[in-house]
Amino acid sequence: MEVRAVTRNVRISPEKAIQVSRLIQGKSVTEALALVDLSPRKAALLLGKTLRSAVANAENNFDLDRKTLVVKEALVGPGPTMKRFRPKARGAAGRIRKRTSHLRITLTDIN
């Protein structure tokens, strides 16, 4: 059985979040939670929230045990980009792109 949790429009660039998501793919839930809790990155905090939500979905909606769950995939995709401008020299304007991400974690049980 597969259980999924999605967090959308998170204010972090996908490139930064992908680095942390690669660490937890294929790990057991307890090991993935330990990795996320000990990592000092902002992406780890956000992925930890999504991972805990997926675990709660599995326990409450499907009566699965936390010890048997494995992170099947942790995907990070680009969300909408907020475009801003900053004044530059000689009247020019420099573009600033404030990127967002969509986080998706899929858990599966060991059988």
CATH topology for 2-109? Answer: Ribosomal Protein L22; Chain A (3.90.470)
pLDDT single digits (tens) 56-102: 999 999 999 999 999 999 999 999 999 999 999 999 999 999 999 99
Indicate whether 111 pLDDT > 80.
Answer: no
DSSP annotation of 28: B
Residue-range domain boundaries for the chain: 2-109
Nearest to 73 by CA among 107, 23, 97, 28: 107
The residue type of 94 is: G
d(CA 66, CA 29): 7
Helix (H) or strand (E) holding 33: helix 29-38
pTM of the complete model beyond 0.85: yes
Q: What is the DSSP code string of 43-86?
A: HHHHHHHHHHHHHHHHHHHH---GGGEEEEEEEEEE---EEEEE
**Which residues are 102's β-sheet partners?**
77
